[in-house]
């Protein structure tokens, strides 16, 4: 079948790009050990899917990893007969190990991707952890580095990459139709936004990212957050909207002044403790979800700096 466009050009239906799904289905997975929310988003018509911010379980006392969280997500993908195209991280998490490679082992066709700014984070932590010349800070540990503003395809899904530096310089959010996955940039309205005191983090950048990029999206945009810390002991929540964030976010509403927010964020960050899994998580995550190479005894080791 051939259609005539308003310009007078003719185009066959076979040549036209698949439409972006306007309202993907979303399944949330909550890891109570790290308060992390992971997601599978898919087109209900085609079953094409992506996974976002997966978790690899890690017991620091025993220094053991296991795959219960990844296995639960994989079981869901299979039970729903989804085709997984991408395994995406919003940033190099500082509070949990990414399950991206563990999930990829079960779905080898899926590619692991992260924002291209990960190279900046790699350079910072390569120095902090003294990773040496064997560690390359060029992003090659990932299957794909995603540039700000680009859109990638996942079958019938279109995934827009929105740069949102602030929590880290490499943070991105993913927009799929009317669904926005915000990682640690924006939380539920009763908790606020991400901290900015990690190396190369910036409260000023976070303010600009949220107010100029996220709050400019339609109010009806569904927001899926990367963590929920259950303030006041309430039940876990993971979905809100841009409109609700603009009106009700306890730290940054649409009319909050930049100087007010920056002063608040910096003062609050000074009172926050170090994430329990910081060094293990970052070292693992900047390496594309892989442990360092085993040493001569066959065991892999993570480095933890000691401060006197």
Domains of the chain and CATH, by start: 21-273 (3.60.15.10)
Average pLDDT for 140-152: 97
Average pLDDT for 252-260: 98
Tell me: pLDDT of 13 over 60: no
Helix, strand, or coil (residue 78): helix
Contact 102, 70 (CB under 8 A): yes
Which carries the bigger pLDDT value, residue 22 or residue 259? 259
Q: What is the percent of the chain with per-residue pLDDT over 90, rounded to a whole number?
A: 89
pLDDT in tens, 207-222: 999 999 999 999 999 9
Residue 76, Cβ density class (10 Å: 0-12 exposed, 13-18 middle, ≥19 buried): middle
List the one residue out of 306, 305, 303, 304 whose CA is nearest residue 134: 303
Residue 21's pLDDT is 59
Tell me: pLDDT of 8 over 90: no
State the CB neighbour count (10 A cutoff) for residue 133: 6
Phi, psi of 101 (to 5 degrees): -70, -35
Residue 167's pLDDT is 97
pLDDT in tens, 62-104: 999 999 999 999 999 999 999 999 999 999 999 999 999 999 9
pLDDT in tens, 17-37: 334 458 999 999 999 999 999
């Amino acid at each position: 079948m051939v259609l005539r466009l308003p310009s007078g050009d003719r185009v066959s239906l076979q040549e036209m790009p698949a439409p972006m799904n306007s309202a993907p289905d979303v399944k949330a997975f909550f890891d109570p050990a790290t308060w992390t929310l992971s997601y599978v988003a898919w087109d209900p018509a085609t079953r094409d899917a992506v996974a976002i911010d997966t978790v690899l379980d890690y017991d620091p006392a025993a220094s053991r990893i296991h795959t219960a969280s990844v296995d639960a997500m994989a079981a869901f993908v299979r039970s729903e007969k989804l085709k997984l195209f991408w395994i995406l991280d919003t940033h190099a998490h500082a509070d949990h190990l990414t399950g991206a490679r563990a999930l990829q082992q079960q779905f080898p066709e899926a590619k692991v991707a992260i924002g291209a700014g990960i190279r900046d984070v790699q350079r910072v932590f390569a120095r902090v952890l003294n990773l040496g010349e064997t560690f390359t800070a060029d992003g090659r540990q990932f299957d794909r580095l995603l540039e700000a503003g680009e859109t990638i395809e996942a079958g019938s899904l279109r995934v827009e990459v929105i740069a949102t530096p602030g929590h880290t310089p490499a943070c991105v959010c993913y927009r799929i139709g009317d669904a926005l996955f915000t990682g640690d940039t924006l939380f539920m309205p009763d908790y606020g936004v991400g901290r900015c005191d990690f190396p190369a983090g910036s409260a000023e950048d976070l303010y600009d990212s949220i107010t100029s990029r996220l709050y400019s999206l339609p109010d009806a945009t569904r927001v899926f957050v990367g963590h929920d810390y259950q303030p006041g002991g309430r039940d876990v929540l993971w979905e809100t909207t841009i409109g609700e964030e603009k009106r009700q976010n306890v730290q940054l509403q649409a009319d909050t002044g930049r100087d007010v927010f920056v002063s608040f964020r910096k003062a609050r960050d000074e009172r926050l403790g170090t994430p329990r899994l910081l060094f293990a998580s970052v070292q693992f995550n900047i390496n594309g979800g892989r442990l360092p190479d085993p040493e001569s005894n066959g065991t892999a080791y993570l480095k933890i700096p000691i401060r006197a």
